[in-house]
Amino acid sequence: MDFKIAVLAGDGIGPEISVQGVDVMSAVCEKFGHKVSYEYALCGADAIDKVGDPFPEATYEICKNADAVLFSAVGDPKFDNDPTAKVRPEQGLLAMRKKLGLFANIRPVQTFKCLVHKSPLKAELVDGADFLCIRELTGGMYFGEKYQDNDKAYDTNMYTRPEIERILKVGFEYAMKRRKHLTVVDKANVLASSRLWRQIAQEMAPQYPEVTTDYMFVDNAAMKMIQEPKFFDVMVTENTFGDILTDEGSVISGSMGLLPSASTGESTPVFEPIHGSWPQAKGLNIANPLAQILSVAMLFEYFDLKEEGALIRKAVDASLDAYVRTPEIQVEGQPKYGTKEVGAWVVDYIKKA
């Protein structure tokens, strides 16, 4: 297969982990006889500094014409600390999702046996936890009508039936491929938008009789993820709730540097780590590249290249078992490895496999 990949490294540690993802993709393509080409584009604070737009039209064109986007991270403290800033790096991420029609964010939450001790939860709670968070990505408060003055502000949480139906369809279909259990997360006891979500989910559930469908208020879901993470198989929810719950779920594994994600929909899919730009670590060679590398595994799996994805996952597991780890997950007394060293080890493993 021929791949044309748009690479958006972005800000902070983005360029450092991006290199590792590209190197892994190149190694896998070489091993399995795929051809791959890369086109690099600006986004985030880097793009604001250079062209004044966090997702310029040239970047959109490159993404639109690619088979997939390998994205890293956006964000910079100089924007975070300026509430008056009219243009922000994160607006580029929202613009990318909207322009490419990426309405479904797929975030796996899984634990690694050798890292269960790093989780803030007890080992017996997290060992074996493996669930999928599916977040609606282009509707709700993040994209609804907004207003702000010195005395009043509002964000409109609007959803339409087609938006809800298409993301629920994704949820049911993923549940069919897994353990056939779907949890629809909402706040139907308070919010009209959530009541529409629940109504439509109840209408669609009979189309998937093999799937056990349950419904959970978002506050209860947040508690359940901590008390009993192994309860969940596939969780589907709206944009704002999904943003919060997926970050909560990410710490179950013990490090945000371990989990990838995919954003799919009407156009070019985007594959990215779930973590942010971590500007404090920029240039220090300490950022964990494994989430970026695992996002490459998700990329191959999206194109039904399961053997390629499995090899990457095997390489990542082997690196963890061999204590080839960045500082935040390293065991005391083991050698120190940086971003480049971990990436190079994974590439070498792939080449020798």
Annotated binding-site positions for Mg(2+): 219, 243, 247
Q: Which residues are bridge partners to 73 per DSSP?
A: 10
Q: Which residues are part of a known binding site? A: 97, 107, 135, 219, 243, 247
Domains 1-100+265-352 and 102-264 share a fold: yes
Q: What is the pLDDT of residue 79?
A: 85
pLDDT at 190: 97
- What is the distance between the alpha carbons of residues 224 and 220, in angstroms, rounded to a whole number? 6
| Residue numbers in the chain where pLDDT is lower than 50 | none
pLDDT of residue 327: 93
Q: What is the pLDDT of residue 26?
A: 98
Residues 96, 31 contacting (CB under 8 angstroms): no
Which amino acids are annotated as binding site for substrate, given as ranges?
97, 107, 135, 219
**The token pair that represents 11 in the structure block:** 């800000």
Residue ranges covered by each domain of the chain = 1-100+265-352, 102-264
DSSP 129-171: -EEEEEEE-SSGGGTS-EEE-SS-EEE-----HHHHHHHHHHH
pLDDT for res 65: 97
Model pLDDT, residue 85: 76
Predicted pLDDT of residue 80: 75
CATH classification code of 102-264: 3.40.718.10
The pTM assigned to this predicted structure is 0.89
Residues with catalytic annotation? Answer: 142, 187, 219, 243, 247
Q: Domain 1-100+265-352 classified CATH 3.60.70.12?
A: no
